[in-house]
Structure 1
């Protein structure tokens, strides 16, 4: 998937080393996970491979790896928890993370038949909360003392957007895999064929069978 600033692709083997760099104690990991943990590349790899969270690498159009987005299936089919981070602080506030999140929402709603996309963001994360407010998600509630960071607890905000709410904004309509005009042409050709088939074959067969029943 490709946007104006970034593109997404599945994880590859060499990406796990980058992940391990992004999750070591730093401001990046504080914003991405709400925690500070040390993890080896192998631990990160096993956690991703055996967990139920899916990941996509975020790249610039020049193929520079700059972060990741994640989506985790929730209790009911069609509900997902969205997350992610841009790993290089120098690239924050450039629109990369916001567009990556929107690309994944496009993917979930348009191709995975998602019903609900949910977010859990710490109130220490200014950028993510501003993203939610700007995109007019519905605030569902506050999780008190949800994250522990910098020696104290922080609340988290729970928010979500439903499928019909997402598509209220025509700008959120992603590009179709198969153009609508092509789909319409296929339907018209099929209907034309079926109509001709009915008149030439099915209908005469019914008439013939009906006449045979009358003779009997």
Structure 2
């Protein structure tokens, strides 16, 4: 999937090392995961490969790998929890993370038949909160003392977007169809025309002949 600034692709073997670098104790992991954990490369690999969270690598159009986006199936079919990280703070505030999130929203709603996509973000993550407000995501509530950072607990905000809300956007903001609507309509038309003639010329006469009815 490709946007104006970034594109997404499946994880490659070398990406595990980048992932382990970006989720080590730092401001990046505080904002992305709300956690400060030490983990080996093997720990990261095992967690990703055996867990139920899906990941995609975020790249610039020059093929520089700059982060990851994740989506985790929830209790009910069609519900997902979205997360992500841009690993280099110098690339923050350039629209990369926001566009990666929008690309995954497009993917989940337009190609995976998602019903609901949810976010859980610490109330110290100014960039993400601004993204939620800008995109008019519905705020569901506040989880008290959900994250522990810098020696104290912090609340988290829970928000989500539903399928009908996603498709209520302006037509121009929706992702491009893999197969153009005109081609789909042409395909349906040609098949239905064929079936109509086949029924009239072959199927129906064969059926009535079998019961001894004269159709002439």
Contact kept, 8 Å, 1:139 with 1:160, in 2: the verdict is: yes
Structure 2 unmatched runs, 5+: none
Q: How far does residue 203 in structure 1 lie from its aligned partner after superposition?
A: 2.2
Which runs of structure 2 are paired with 1:177-216 in the superposition (5 Å)?
177-210=178-211, 212=212
CA distance in 2, matches of 1:73, 1:169: 24
Q: Which residue of 2 aligns with 1:124?
A: 124
Moved over 6 A (4+): none
Q: How far does residue 98 in structure 1 lie from its aligned partner after superposition?
A: 0.4
Q: How far does residue 99 in structure 1 lie from its aligned partner after superposition?
A: 0.4
Q: Which residue of 2 aligns with 1:160?
A: 160
2:46 is aligned with 1:42: no
Q: Residue deviations 1:150-190, cap 9 Å, x none?
A: 11110000000000001100244211111111111110110
Q: Residue deviations 1:124-173, cap 9 Å, x none?
A: 10000110011111110000000000111100000000000011002442
Aligned-pair Cα RMSD in Å: 1.2
Q: How far does residue 213 in structure 1 lie from its aligned partner after superposition?
A: 6.0
Q: Residue deviations 1:96-129, cap 9 Å, x none?
A: 0000000001000011100000000000100001
Calculate the TM-score normalised by the size of structure 2: 0.96
Q: Give the paired residue count.
A: 213
CA distance in 2, matches of 1:191, 1:93: 51
Which runs of structure 2 are paired with 1:14-163 in the superposition (5 Å)?
14-163=14-163
CA distance in 1, matches of 2:207, 2:50: 59
Structure 1 unmatched runs, 5+: none
